């Protein structure tokens, strides 16, 4: 079921996890009932704004809300970070889109989330637990200051392995170190689900490949329309070309061509940088103009 929204969707809660990562809880009763783990939405901040895909990090049918966890890395996400406050609204919110993650019948599942990927792996972990699986979560962050939702995962999972690059929280090491610990302690893991930056998901797939453990990843390539028509989100999976927006975003991690995916993600780096610089300059000039009046 896809719910296509009209306009003006109220932000009912916001939380900042770091100087670049923030959470928005948006009121949308119909979407909150239709959303499934693994799906995403396309958001527009304003009428003439950019369309950006964001994974649904959580949904609550009782409250009638969906939750988005966003990293301010480009012009639009930084603009949203600045303007999206409780009581304001998004102009457009379309979804849920993508193929829902299939309900795993595995008895023991390892859910791996790295950085911003920690948010979308949560509904996957909760869904596996609700389906009767024993769920181990491995979460990776650069440092303690960037850790979020630790309590949510402890409540939803049977075990949690927290990793930080600098050792300021949990065990010191990369997320693959946490995976090794989990595989050593639980050689009977049936399935691994990993979400995070492409380089992290590639490392996860490489770590599980010798064990021949089913490993699913959620890819987030360049996306424009979300219907498969633009072709921007194509990804090589084995000897086939898939479109993340309609065929995914979940694919077999052992078949995804991550090198090609990472190369494609770099193609618009200069365009994104230019857009961000223009927006930053516009914000700076607005502040200066306001200061010249208010500062008198």
For the chain, the domains span 3-97, 108-264
8 Å CB contact between 92 and 45: no
| Rg (the chain; Cα; Å) | 19
| Phi, then psi, of 128 in degrees rounded to 5 | -65, -40
Q: Look at residue 63 and tell me whether its pLDDT is greater than 70.
A: yes
> Among the residues of the chain, which ranges form H helices?
29-34, 75-83, 118-130, 150-156, 175-185, 198-208, 244-247, 258-265, 269-294
Secondary structure percentages of the chain, helix, strand, coil, to 5: 35, 30, 35
Mean pLDDT of 209-233: 78
User: For position 53, what pLDDT does the model report?
Assistant: 86
User: For position 270, what pLDDT does the model report?
Assistant: 62
8 Å CB contact between 68 and 41: yes
The fold for domain 108-264 equals Rossmann fold (3.40.50)
pLDDT tens digits for 226-239?
Answer: 666 676 678 888 88
**CA 294 to CA 296: how far, in whole Å?**
6
Q: Look at residue 291 and tell me whether its pLDDT is greater than 70.
A: no
3-97 in CATH: which number? 2.40.30.10
Q: What single-letter DSSP state applies at residue 98?
A: S
Which range among 28-37, 112-121, 127-136 shows the weakest confidence by mean pLDDT? 112-121
The closest of 270, 240, 131, 123 to 190, measured between CA atoms, is: 131
> How many C-beta neighbours within 10 Å does residue 23 have?
18
pLDDT tens digits for 164-198?
Answer: 989 898 899 999 999 999 999 999 999 999 998 88
Q: What percent of the chain has pLDDT over 70?
A: 83
Q: How many H-runs (helices) and E-runs (strands) does the chain carry?
A: 9, 17
User: For position 287, what pLDDT does the model report?
Assistant: 57
Q: Give the pTM.
A: 0.81
pLDDT tens digits for 68-93?
Answer: 998 888 888 888 899 999 999 999 89
């Amino acid at each position: 079921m896809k719910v296509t929204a009209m306009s003006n969707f109220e932000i009912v809660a916001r939380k900042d996890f770091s100087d670049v990562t923030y959470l928005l809880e948006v009121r949308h009763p119909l979407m909150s009932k239709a959303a499934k783990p693994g799906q995403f939405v396309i958001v527009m901040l304003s009428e003439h704004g950019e369309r950006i895909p964001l994974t649904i990090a959580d949904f609550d049918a009782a409250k009638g809300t969906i939750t988005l966890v966003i990293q301010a890395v480009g012009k639009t996400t930084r603009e949203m970070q600045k303007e999206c406050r409780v009581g304001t609204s998004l102009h457009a919110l379309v979804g849920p889109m993508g193929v829902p993650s299939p309900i795993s019948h595995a008895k023991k599942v390892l859910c791996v989330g790295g950085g911003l990927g920690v948010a979308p792996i949560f509904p996957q972990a909760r869904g596996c637990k609700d389906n009767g699986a024993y769920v181990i979560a491995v979460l990776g962050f650069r440092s303690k200051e960037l850790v979020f939702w630790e309590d949510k995962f402890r409540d939803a999972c049977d075990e949690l392995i927290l990793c930080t690059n600098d050792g300021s929280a949990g065990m010191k090491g990369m997320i693959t170190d946490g995976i090794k610990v989990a595989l050593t302690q639980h050689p009977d893991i049936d399935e691994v689900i990993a979400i995070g930056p492409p380089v992290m998901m590639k490392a996860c797939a490489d770590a599980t490949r010798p064990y021949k453990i089913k490993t699913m990843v959620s890819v987030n390539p360049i996306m424009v329309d979300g219907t498969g028509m633009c072709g921007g989100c194509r990804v090589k999976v084995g000897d086939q070309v898939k479109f993340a927006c309609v065929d995914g975003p979940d694919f077999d991690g052992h078949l995804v061509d991550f090198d090609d995916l990472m190369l494609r993600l770099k193609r618009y780096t200069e365009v994104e940088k230019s857009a961000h610089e223009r927006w930053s300059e516009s914000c700076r000039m607005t502040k200066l103009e306001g200061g010249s009046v208010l500062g008198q």
